Each structure stands twice: as structure tokens, then as C-alpha cells.
């Protein structure tokens, strides 16, 4: 079964597929999408005709429609030209064309979905393996597709039908080459070899208790292989949206752009798939279970190579890091760094609070050497350290942590006795009496 979905208005062709090699036919679907922008930044006739317009042209048809019957024949001819033996036996077509006018540009979104039945994709089958044709992937046509008098394959046709005045401005100009590109084109999906697609297989179907999880009976006892394409990778290359533009010079200068993203594909098959080429045709050999000893669930050796390559690069980076760190460690200076502690002089900055003395202090350089390198950037806002005292004063004993001159009583007054010697400079009466008696 082939299922295709889309969430963007600029995708080109997309296929999300599942094929059952045990069946003679499988349903399929494709989506083709493109967006056309008509830009008129300088106003003009196209601005007058389109900037306030909005309309939708849509419809559906099945294989009883003469236009769909012609499309089936055209698609089968394209498949045959690509070397495939598969055929389309039934088809339904849904189309939607939406125009939205704006002040600077008008966009036209084109969407076509085809759903049908694919047959004759099994090449040969035996008790071990089924060979499946994969050369039908570029389902599309370069012929006009007319459904109920509406041509849907060429963007310029809808413009001619719905906006004849705008068409008259663009007809015969370089915009024709853009507006006349067929919408139903999936050639890139076939041009990208299946060996470049990501490969995964799901072994859930061969688990003993797989049925307890509501597994589809069609894959019971089988693994499921899947191939996906469309993302940028080393194998597929960089996938970017395709943009074509042309300048139209009429009453004003206009720009016409066509935007569509890279094609995407997701093909799944019941069984373990091994790719091969038969007479220039890409095929897959499907077996119910993977070969003995096959444990990888990822594309060939490519992810393994990438994983080990990244691990090797990480190892090289780690070695380089350790070498660099080792050299830096050897070059690093050992021992005391910064200012030598022997060159620092400490002094007390604390004051008494209540009945105890706190022990706080600061340090400064004993000399002025390297002053510019060591001075504080906040020096101008700080008090200068107290001047050094003489040796006789350093030996003096004074228990006064504060003076009455600054509105606080000294420690001697707080304790009711003074332990100061004659060198005490405290102005408190108790201290002065003690100092006088010792002089």
C-alpha cells in the first residue's frame, strides 16, 4: 500500500509507500505540489487585476472519467519508458488550485493527488525470495491532464481559464517557461538510486508475541523493510527547495517565481529487502526474514562508518586536548604566586562592641614596590592605613579600644578598672588617673 501526505504548500512530489510481495496488486498514492508567486512591487495592471482576488478551483474524478482514463494511459507509458514492467490499473484524481491576492504579490497553490492500484510489480517468485520491480517510482506525465474541462497539469492553464486579463500580460514572456512546467513530475525520485536511500528494517513481525500488539496479519512472520529519501546527507547531497524565476517587462516590471521543495519518498516492503539491478532496472529481493547473523537495522555500512568516524574524531580531539593541557601544565609556574607574604604588614581595624573585642585587620605593602600593580581600584574611596608607630609605642599596653572623643566609652570605663600603662592616650578620666599614677 502506498500512502502520501503533505503539510506544506511548496512540496514537489512525495511518496510514502508499502508494498506486499505476496499480493498481485497494491494501492498507491502520490502528491504533487507547487506554488507560483506573481510579484508586482511597483503596482501596474497585474496589481489592479489580482491584489483583491481570491478563489479556489477544485474537483475529483475516478476511472470512469475520460480524462482519468487518458491519464492512466499516459502514466503507464511513462512507467514503461523508465524501463519498468509495473502498471496502473485503477486511478482516482483530486486537484485543488487556490489563488490569493495581496498588495505586493499573488500566490497560486497547485495540489494534485492521485490514488490507484499498481500491478505487475512482482518479477519472479520462488519459495525463498521474491523479486520486486522498483523502477516505477517516477510516476508522472508531461502531457496535458484535463478533468471536466479543467487542465490541471500546467499552472498557466488555470491562470488562462480564471484570470484571462492577467494571462494576457504574462503570455509570450519569459514567465511562460515557468508557468508551463508540468506539475506531475517525480523524476528526481527515480534519479536518486535506491542505494542512496536510508534503509531500515523492523523485525517486530517475527516476534513470538507480535500478535498481542494488534499487528497486521499481512506482516505476521515477516520483517518490514523501508527506504526513505529527501533529507540532506552525504549520500543524497544537500536537498534544497527549487526556485525558478523570470522577469516580465510590460506596463511595469513584474517577477514570476515558482517554488517547490525537494522530492521525498518512503517506500516500505513486507520482508527483508536486498537491493540489486536487473538489466538496468532497480529491484529488491524480498525474503520473510533477514539473513542469518544480520543484526543491523540501519543502512548498510554507512551509519556504522559515520559512527566510528565520529568516535575516531572524538578520540583524536581527546588526545590533542590532553597534549595541550600537559604542555600548559609544564609551562605553568610553581610555588607562591602573586605578592610575597613577607612583604605585607598587617594592622588592626576592628573596634570594641559592647564588652568584647573583634579581631579584624587589613594588610598593606611594607614598601611602594609594584604599587601600580597591587593597589586597589577603590583606593580613593578607602581610608589610608594608619602610620607605623615607634618601637616604644608598639610595646605599650593599652586596653582602650575607643575614646570618649567620638562619643563612646572605652573598655576601661566599661569594666570599671584600667589596665593601661603610662603611654595610654585615652581621654577618659579613669584612664588618665591610671596613666598619671604610673608616670
Q: Is the pLDDT of residue 214 over 80?
A: no
CB 424 within 8 A of CB 393: no
What is the reported pLDDT for 396? Answer: 40
Reported pTM: 0.62
Q: How far apart are CA 387 and CA 269, in angstroms?
A: 93
Q: Is the pLDDT of residue 423 over 80?
A: no
CB 265 within 8 A of CB 15: yes
What are the tens digits of pLDDT across the range 356-405?
555 566 666 666 555 555 555 555 555 555 554 444 443 344 556 554 44
Query: End-to-end alpha-carbon separation of the chain, Å?
Result: 117
Give the pLDDT mean for 255-266.
Answer: 87
What are the tens digits of pLDDT across the range 1-31?
333 333 333 347 888 778 889 888 888 889 9
Cα dihedral value 172, 177, 180, 183, nearest 10: -160
Q: Which of 1, 98, 102 is nearest to 43 (CA)?
A: 102
Cell of 269: 516492503
What is the reported pLDDT for 209? Answer: 47
Cell of 295: 543484526
Confidence of residue 229 (pLDDT cuts 50, 70, 90): confident
What is the reported pLDDT for 109? Answer: 95
Q: In sequence order, what are the beta bridge partners of 345?
A: 364
For 49, counting Cβ atoms within 10 Å of its Cβ (0-12 exposed, 13-18 middle, 19+ buried), the class is buried
Q: Is the pLDDT of residue 267 over 80?
A: yes
Give the pLDDT mean for 138-151.
Answer: 94
What is the reported pLDDT for 311? Answer: 66
What is the reported pLDDT for 242? Answer: 77
What are the tens digits of pLDDT across the range 24-67?
888 888 999 999 999 999 999 999 999 999 999 999 999 999 99
Count of alpha carbons within 13 angstroms of residue 354, beta-carbon side: 2
Count of alpha carbons within 13 angstroms of residue 141, beta-carbon side: 19
Which range of 13-22, 140-149, 231-240, 380-389 scores highest in mean pLDDT? It is: 140-149
Tell which wins on pLDDT, 439 or 318.
318
Confidence of residue 112 (pLDDT cuts 50, 70, 90): very high
CB 116 within 8 A of CB 92: yes
What is the reported pLDDT for 301? Answer: 45
Q: For the chain, what percent of residues have pLDDT higher than 90? A: 39
Q: Is the pLDDT of residue 204 over 50?
A: yes
Q: Is the pLDDT of residue 306 over 50?
A: yes
pLDDT, averaged across the chain: 77
CB 438 within 8 A of CB 423: no
Tell which wins on pLDDT, 190 or 201.
190
Count of alpha carbons within 13 angstroms of residue 263, beta-carbon side: 25
Give the pLDDT mean for 337-343.
Answer: 68
Q: For the chain, what percent of residues have pLDDT higher than 70? A: 65
Q: How far apart are CA 356 and CA 402, in angstroms?
A: 12
What is the reported pLDDT for 126? Answer: 86
What is the reported pLDDT for 238? Answer: 62
How open is the CA angle 29-30-35, to the nearest 5 degrees? Answer: 150
- Write down the domain spans for the chain: 2-291, 342-367+394-438
> For 115-129, b where at least 16 C-beta lie within 10 A, e where not — what string?
bbbbbbbbbeeeeeb
Amino acid at each position: 500500500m502506498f500512502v502520501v501526505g503533505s503539510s506544506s504548500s511548496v512540496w514537489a512530489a512525495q511518496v510514502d509507500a508499502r508494498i506486499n510481495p505476496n499480493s498481485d496488486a497494491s494501492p498507491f498514492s502520490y502528491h504533487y505540489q507547487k506554488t507560483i508567486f506573481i510579484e508586482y512591487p511597483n503596482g501596474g495592471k497585474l496589481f489592479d487585476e489580482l491584489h483583491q482576488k481570491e478563489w479556489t478551483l477544485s474537483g475529483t474524478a475516478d476511472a470512469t472519467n475520460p480524462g482519468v482514463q487518458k491519464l492512466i494511459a499516459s502514466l503507464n507509458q511513462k512507467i514503461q519508458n523508465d524501463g519498468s514492467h509495473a502498471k496502473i490499473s485503477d486511478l482516482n484524481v483530486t486537484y485543488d488550485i487556490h489563488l490569493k491576492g495581496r498588495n505586493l504579490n499573488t500566490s497560486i497553490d497547485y495540489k494534485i493527488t492521485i490514488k490507484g492500484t499498481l500491478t505487475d510489480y512482482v518479477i519472479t517468485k520462488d519459495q525463498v525470495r521474491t523479486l520486486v520491480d522498483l523502477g516505477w517510482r517516477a510516476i508522472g506525465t508531461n502531457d496535458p491532464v484535463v478533468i471536466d474541462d479543467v487542465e490541471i497539469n500546467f499552472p498557466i492553464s488555470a491562470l488562462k481559464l480564471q484570470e484571462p486579463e492577467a494571462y494576457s500580460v504574462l503570455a509570450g514572456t519569459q514567465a511562460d517557461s515557468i508557468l508551463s512546467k508540468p506539475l506531475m513530475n517525480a523524476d528526481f525520485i527515480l534519479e536518486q538510486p535506491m542505494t542512496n536511500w536510508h534503509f531500515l528494517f523492523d523485525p517486530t513481525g517475527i516476534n513470538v508475541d507480535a500478535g498481542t500488539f494488534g499487528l497486521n496479519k499481512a506482516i505476521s512472520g515477516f520483517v518490514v523493510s523501508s527506504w526513505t529519501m529527501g533529507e540532506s546527507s552525504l549520500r543524497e547531497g544537500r536537498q534544497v527547495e527549487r526556485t525558478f524565476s523570470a522577469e516580465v517587462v510590460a506596463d511595469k516590471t513584474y517577477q514570476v517565481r515558482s517554488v517547490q521543495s525537494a522530492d521525498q519518498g518512503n517506500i516500505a516492503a513486507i520482508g527483508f529487502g536486498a537491493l540489486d539491478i536487473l538489466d538496468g532496472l532497480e529491484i529488491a529481493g524480498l525474503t520473510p526474514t533477514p539473513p542469518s547473523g544480520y543484526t543491523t537495522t540501519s543502512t548498510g555500512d554507512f551509519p556504522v562508518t559515520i559512527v566510528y568516524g565520529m568516535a575516531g574524531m572524538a578520540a583524536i580531539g581527546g588526545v590533542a586536548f590532553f597534549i595541550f593541557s600537559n604542555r600548559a601544565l609544564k609551562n605553568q609556574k610553581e610555588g607562591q604566586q602573586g605578592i610575597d607574604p613577607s612583604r605585607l604588614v598587617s594592622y588592626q581595624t576592628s573596634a570594641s562592641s559592647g564588652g568584647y573585642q573583634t579581631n579584624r585587620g587589613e594588610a598593606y605593602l611594607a614598601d611602594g614596590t609594584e604599587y601600580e600593580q597591587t593597589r586597589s581600584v577603590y583606593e580613593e574611596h578607602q581610608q589610608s592605613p594608619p602610620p607605623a608607630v615607634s618601637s616604644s609605642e608598639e610595646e605599650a599596653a593599652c586596653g582602650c579600644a575607643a575614646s570618649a572623643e567620638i562619643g563612646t566609652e572605652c573598655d576601661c570605663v566599661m569594666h570599671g578598672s584600667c589596665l593601661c600603662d603610662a603611654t595610654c592616650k585615652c581621654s577618659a578620666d579613669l584612664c588618665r588617673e591610671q596613666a598619671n599614677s604610673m608616670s
